[in-house]
């Protein structure tokens, strides 16, 4: 194995993402690939180094071992290594149609699918099981996914000889491309299946049960392996990703693990204090309102929020107070309010601290404008 630092070989930082590592390898491979540098031993060695570094850094487990123990963590001779295949495998995974995969036909995995699942806040917090119906492509049962009429078999492609790729000479470069006749499958079908018309796949709807874990939130995805579209010619199916969308709730708003709700109270309760019932996802709770409570005052009820799906402490329920101005007063009530206002007299500002502060700031503002 090379003893040079793998990050140095790929010319990336040790914090590089998988996409950055793949991009760096692609650039070096294009530059040093033996097909572009015939009889150049230095270029071949640089390519092998880049491939070796890519093999390790593109694999999460190998990269973790390398970051912790260096070359000893991935070197077979040190007892903790891995089996490294020829450079054609990794190279073909990245370049596919440019250089090909070493003369082999490539069978494509089925496409991944996405399903948008709407949930109530209650179901998202508590978890649930949901049945969904998904349109997809499945392997044709008549031909077992081969695309050929039952009793017959696909023919070896006469253009590429079953390799799925053809080699073309472009100036100094020898380039492999996907075979235009069989489109990389290596076979052609002269007598197609009547059910799928040679495609090997048919459109169907399938019903699935999705286990939604407790605590999911907007944007979370649940992966159902192998429940996507069937692949070509019997290749593995893709995956189904269930995208979570939580519907707006009439009472609660969620912010990560916390729940918020607005609690309207009348001016009497706000001024004198009291106790009232507030809702939570677990049932009714009692909330004590101290005398002199103002609008937008927040009361935190510990542990009455959401337990996050990825672990961690349960959030809180935060009640935001909204003091309501009374409306539709009768004559007696209006008279009482007028008497109340007169009773405060010149000391009204003492009972309205926010109003007094606002008036003081306003006076200072006008004074500053004069100067």
Q: Confirm whether 113-246 and 252-327 share one CATH topology.
A: no
| pLDDT tier for residue 216 given thresholds of 50, 70 and 90 | very high
Domain at 6-95: CATH code: 1.10.287.110
Distance CA 114, CA 180 (A): 30
Beta-strand (E) ranges in 123-273? 128-139, 155-156, 165-170, 173-178, 187-188, 201-212, 221-224, 240-246, 252-255, 258-266
Evaluate whether 125 touches 281 at the Cβ level (below 8 Å).
Answer: yes
Please give the distance of CA 47 from its chain centroid, rounded to a whole number. 34
* CA-wise closest residue to 117 among 204, 211, 206, 203: 211
CATH class as words, domain 113-246: mainly beta
Interval 207-223 mean pLDDT: 92
Domains of the chain by residue range: 6-95, 113-246, 252-327
What is the pTM (predicted TM-score) of this model?
0.56
Over residues 167-204, the pLDDT tens digits come to 776 555 667 778 888 877 788 888 888 878 777 777 88
CA atoms within 13 A on the CB side of 299: 20
Fold (CATH) for 252-327:
HSP40/DNAj peptide-binding domain (2.60.260)
Of 80-89, 146-155, 260-269, give the lowest mean pLDDT range. Answer: 80-89
**What is the residue-averaged pLDDT of the chain?**
81
Of 53-67, 99-113, 356-370, give the lowest mean pLDDT range. Answer: 99-113
């Amino acid at each position: 194995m090379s003893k040079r630092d793998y990050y140095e070989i790929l010319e990336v930082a040790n914090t590089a993402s998988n996409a950055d590592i793949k991009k760096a390898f692609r650039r070096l491979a294009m530059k040093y690939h033996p097909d572009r540098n015939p009889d150049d031993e230095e270029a071949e060695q640089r390519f092998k180094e880049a491939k070796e570094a890519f093999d390790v850094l593109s694999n999460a487990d190998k990269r973790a071992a390398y970051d912790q123990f260096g070359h000893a963590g991935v070197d077979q001779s040190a007892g903790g290594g891995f089996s490294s295949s020829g450079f054609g495998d990794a190279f073909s995974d990245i370049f596919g149609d440019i250089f090909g995969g070493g003369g082999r036909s490539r069978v494509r995995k089925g496409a991944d699918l996405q399903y948008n699942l709407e949930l109530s806040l209650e179901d998202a917090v508590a978890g649930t099981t949901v049945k969904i119906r998904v349109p997809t492509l499945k392997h044709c049962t008549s031909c077992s996914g081969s695309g050929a009429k039952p009793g017959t078999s696909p023919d070896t492609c006469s253009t590429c000889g079953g390799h799925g790729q053809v080699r073309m000479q472009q100036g100094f470069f020898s380039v492999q491309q996907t075979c235009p006749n069989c489109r990389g499958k290596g076979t052609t079908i002269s007598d197609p299946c009547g059910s799928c018309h040679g495609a090997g796949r048919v459109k169907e709807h399938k019903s699935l049960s999705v286990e939604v874990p407790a605590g999911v939130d907007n944007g979370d995805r649940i992966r159902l392996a192998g429940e996507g579209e069937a692949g070509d010619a019997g290749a593995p199916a893709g995956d189904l990703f269930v995208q979570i969308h939580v519907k707006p709730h009439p009472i609660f708003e969620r912010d990560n693990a916390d729940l918020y709700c607005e609690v309207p109270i009348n001016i009497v309760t706000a001024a004198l204090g009291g106790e009232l019932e507030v809702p939570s996802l677990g049932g009714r709770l009692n909330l004590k309102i101290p005398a002199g409570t103002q609008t937008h005052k927040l009361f935190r009820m510990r542990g009455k929020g959401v337990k996050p799906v990825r672990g961690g402490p349960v959030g809180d329920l935060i009640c935001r107070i909204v003091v309501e101005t009374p409306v539709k007063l009768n004559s007696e009530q209006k008279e009482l309010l007028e008497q109340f206002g007169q009773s405060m007299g010149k000391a009204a500002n003492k009972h309205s601290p926010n109003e007094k502060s606002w008036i003081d700031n306003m006076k200072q503002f006008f004074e500053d404008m004069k100067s």
